[in-house]
Copies of this chain bind each other. A is one copy, B any other.
Amino acid sequence: MSAKRTTPIKGEAWRAYFETTQLLTAELERRLKADSGMDFGDYNILLVLSESPEQRLRLGGLARAIAFGPNRLTYRLDVLERRGWVRREPCQGDKRGLEAVLTDDGRRVFRKASLPHSRDVYDVFLDHLTDEQAQAMLEVFQPLRDRLTD
């Protein structure tokens, strides 16, 4: 280990971040399920599709955006397709590929779920931050996201 790796503050920061994220995710997911009957994975699939042009995205791009492996994505899309919220279709330009499309029902369900979820995120987390702390988080996680999506 190099000298910079022994900074105790970094190890402490990692533990606080990692453990808190597990607790926070569990709490937000518990509320999401109670309000809307969906788990975080499903919510994120609907979120990413709702923000994509024409509400559609190739399966590979969707998997990358939500950091799901192909098996897990297939399984969740099966569930979402049975509920009528998502459809899989041949890609519009490249018939060999598949893309996931948000249905009208899916859009409605997502919009309805996003309101209490957003409120929960503020209640549990964001309302307790100062703008300076939010800025500091942005400066930590944005460059990391850029590195991880390179």
A13 B143 Cβ-Cβ under 8 A? no
Number of interface residues of A (CB under 8 A): 50
Chain multiplicity (copies): 2
**A residues 35-64 touching B (CB-CB < 8 Å):** 44
- Expressed in whole angstroms, the minimum distance between the Cβ of A56 and any Cβ of chain B is 20
Is residue A34 within 8 Å, beta carbon to beta carbon, of the partner chain? no
**A residues 66-90 touching B (CB-CB < 8 Å):** 66-67
In the assembled complex, the Cα of A13 lies from the Cα of B122 at a distance in Å of: 12
B20 A122 Cβ-Cβ under 8 A? no
* B residues in contact with A138, CB < 8 Å: 9, 12-13, 16
A-B contact pairs, 29 of them (CB 8 A): A5-B127, A7-B131, A9-B134, A9-B138, A10-B126, A12-B134, A13-B126, A13-B129, A13-B135, A13-B137, A14-B121, A16-B138, A17-B137, A17-B141, A20-B142, A21-B21, A21-B141, A22-B66, A22-B67, A23-B148, A24-B148, A25-B67, A26-B67, A27-B148, A124-B147, A128-B143, A128-B147, A133-B140, A136-B137
